[in-house]
Amino acid sequence: MKRVYIGKIKLIFIAMIFSLSSCDYLDVIPPETADIDDTMTDPDAVLRFLYTCYGRIQYGDIDPISYANIDAAGDDFVLPTLWGNWSSYVQWGQVTAYQANEWGGGYHWKKLYDGIGLCNQFMQLLDELNPPITQDIKELYKAEATFVKAYYHMRALQLYGPIPLMDELMSQNTPTDQIPGRSHFDYCVDYIVGLFDKAAETLPATWNSQYFGRGTSVIAKALKSRLLLYAASPLWNSDSSPLANWENKNFETPGYGKKLVNTSYESSKWERARIASEEALNAALDAGFRLFTIEDSETIRNQQSINLPTVPGVDGNTPEGEEFLQRVMMFRYMITARITEGNKENIWGVMAAQNAKNGAIPHYVHTDDNGNKVGYWGGISPTLYTVENFYTKNGKIPVDDADFPNPSEWFKSANIPGNSDIINLHKDREARFYAWISFDGDEYSSNMVNYGPLMIHARDPQQQGYNPALWGNRNYSVTGYLTKKYVQPNLVYLNSGSQNFDNVKYPVALVRMAELYLNLAECQAQVGGQYIADALENLNTIRERAGIPDLSQDDIATSGKTLVDHVLNERFIEFFEEGQRYYDIRRYLLGPQRLNSANFEGLNAEIVGPSFEQFNKRTPVSQPFTWNDRMYVLPVPTKDVYSNPQMVQAPGY
């Protein structure tokens, strides 16, 4: 049997009942077995069935924060070619409807519709079998299943555009002409919003930490905010969307006919998103959620006896320097600290997959007492664009900061005493940069090597540098940069060869407080007028937590950028490697600018033993990156198009 984890709850997955059999339409119709009554025989069995509805979320199979998943395919990081992950195939423009057939059960489309079918089955059986639970519990479970069903529909809409809406459990004998086709995008949005609203009426605002991971009214409102934000964005709300001509052939949406995409801009969509985002933020605050703070972090750090990090050019012996280093650690703990450790930032999360940190930690950490070189994969590689778009200590992008070195000096040594490997581009940056990005000469962790620091020697082929003969041609940084974002500060390799990685687990945020502030700021900036000052206030709430100066209206006026541009760049930094970038690029129609081959660059990292000058130069990543407008959405597997007369394929596939 498989075991599923919802927060800290160990759940039994009943494979006999919940492994969905093949059918004509996407396997969305669960099997009708003689044993189905066994799912409702007692309260524990009912709860196990409910937890199984959450399974596709909590397994991490469809979560957007996994580097291997489809929607990790932004411009913030790349992976080694031979890893062959879905995110790379999306970046390369190599996802086809036929390839989706081959991926089968591993493709998000099938997993999402399997999950929707399971939720529909659960709610139907609650009514049909009348299990031995109270009416209040029954209504609560229905609300949870409705919430999960809404989330699965929302994820499908994000990835595939207009989708079939599966409101009820369908018999396996359903005639093919009665299987729904895609509904108009706006109709899908209204349907999913209705599900979130319905669920929020019954769901609690929070759960005891023991049940972290189950749906709440706060999470439902937060996801509604995210959905309406996307729906108001140019991909789905403009007169110039590349998907504007997408229509059904044999299926009509009530009130929309065969059209699938709106072809005119509606400012009211931003106002609707603003109202929902304000409601979500207020609901989260009322429920006790808040941004993670230095005080939160310092409590955990002191309990774990972790040293403050070393950051190039920062004197930790001064009050200002010490506060900066504490802020760096705050951002590392913000991602990895549990709710039980005082992390009120994480509103909803999944248990972190082990490979999230395995993929990040460099292939060489140290040599143990047995002479073994030990480490992990070290292949999650931030791009040079990412490095160049985190702020300086002055809260500006380096190219826009008059006090930062000229771009012609970026790749030269900063001449830091005792560390000549540090280049100018890596000095005088903001705290999030040092918390999440690692580079040649950087301290990756203050604790990792037998409770001492792990220093990065990205040019040394015997350490973290490129060396296929020693490390294989798979596990290395493609760009010369590493990530620390999901790596806990208290992970350690001991000289004895043991390590504590398997024992240090935490929930990864799918929704956190920073998003609610930035969702609202973006909507307020788009609506404009009286809300501009409020947008700045919400944006500056995130900047202040980052330890950088507030942005003023005068700053915006002289920057040559709009307030929306500033919010989007804040999202890029704050949500680096969290799956948001995939959607931000697409919803603002930035695919041609950001995802073409010329924009994927790093340092010259894929050579053995380079000199300082050879390594530190702008270098294209040698992978077949491409952009085609069809990549704004993903394809449905061809077998599911052929088996459903109402289904039309996405444009260009």
Contacts of residue 513, defined as CB under 8 A and 6 or more positions apart, other chains included, come to: 284, 289, 290, 291, 292, 344, 345, 347
Answer whether residue 399 is part of any domain. yes
Identify the CATH number of the domain in which residue 81 sits.
Answer: 1.25.40.390
Residue matched to tokens 């995409």: 261
Q: Are residues 216 and 310 in the same domain?
A: no
pLDDT band at 22 (very low <50, low <70, confident <90, very high): very low
CA 475/CA 70 separation, integer angstroms: 20
CA 12/CA 48 separation, integer angstroms: 7
Partners of 351 in the β-ladder: 507
Q: Are residues 381 and 248 in the same domain?
A: no
Domain range for residue 321? Answer: 294-336+353-504
The whole-number pLDDT of residue 19 equals 30
The two structure tokens encoding residue 416: 């830091």
Q: Are residues 255 and 329 in the same domain?
A: no
Q: Are residues 406 and 299 in the same domain?
A: yes
Positive or negative torsion for Cα 354, 358, 360, 365: positive
The two structure tokens encoding residue 524: 């307020």
Determine contact, residues 188/163, Cβ cutoff 8 Å: yes
In this structure, what are the phi and psi dihedrals at residue 302, rounded to the nearest 5 degrees?
-70, -35
Q: Are residues 40 and 107 in the same domain?
A: yes
**pLDDT 10s digits, 521-536:** 999 999 999 999 999 9
Answer whether residue 519 is part of any domain. no
Listed residues 447, 470, 504: the one ending a domain: 504
Mean pLDDT of 367-385: 95
Q: Are residues 399 and 420 in the same domain?
A: yes
Q: Are residues 288 and 417 in the same domain?
A: no
**pLDDT 10s digits, 214-227:** 999 999 999 999 99
User: Max CA-CA distance within the chain?
Assistant: 75
- Give 598: exposed, middle or buried? Use CB within 10 Å, 0-12, 13-18, 19+: exposed
What total of structural domains would you count in the chain?
2
**pLDDT 10s digits, 36-92:** 767 888 999 999 999 999 988 876 567 777 888 888 999 999 999 999 988 999 999
CA 396/CA 561 separation, integer angstroms: 12
Listed residues 463, 479, 504: the one ending a domain: 504
* CA 396 vs CA 179, 388, 407, 429, 548: distances in Å: 52, 10, 14, 9, 9
CA 352/CA 336 separation, integer angstroms: 9
Q: Are residues 283 and 429 in the same domain?
A: no
Answer whether residue 561 is part of any domain. no
Q: Are residues 372 and 460 in the same domain?
A: yes
In this structure, what are the phi and psi dihedrals at residue 164, rounded to the nearest 5 degrees?
-70, 135
Q: Are residues 222 and 260 in the same domain?
A: yes
Determine contact, residues 443/454, Cβ cutoff 8 Å: yes
**pLDDT 10s digits, 563-574:** 999 999 999 999
Answer whether residue 286 is part of any domain. yes
pTM of the model: 0.93
**pLDDT 10s digits, 291-343:** 999 999 999 999 999 999 999 999 999 999 999 999 999 999 999 999 899 99
Listed residues 470, 487, 504: the one ending a domain: 504
Determine contact, residues 343/292, Cβ cutoff 8 Å: yes
Answer whether residue 260 is part of any domain. yes
Residue matched to tokens 């999944």: 350
The two structure tokens encoding residue 89: 């195939």
Answer whether residue 566 is part of any domain. no
**pLDDT 10s digits, 406-448:** 999 999 999 999 999 999 999 999 999 999 999 999 999 999 9
* CA 636 vs CA 99, 235, 644: distances in Å: 10, 19, 11
Residue matched to tokens 């970026």: 410
Answer whether residue 628 is part of any domain. no
Q: Are residues 455 and 332 in the same domain?
A: yes
Q: Are residues 357 and 233 in the same domain?
A: no
Answer whether residue 585 is part of any domain. no
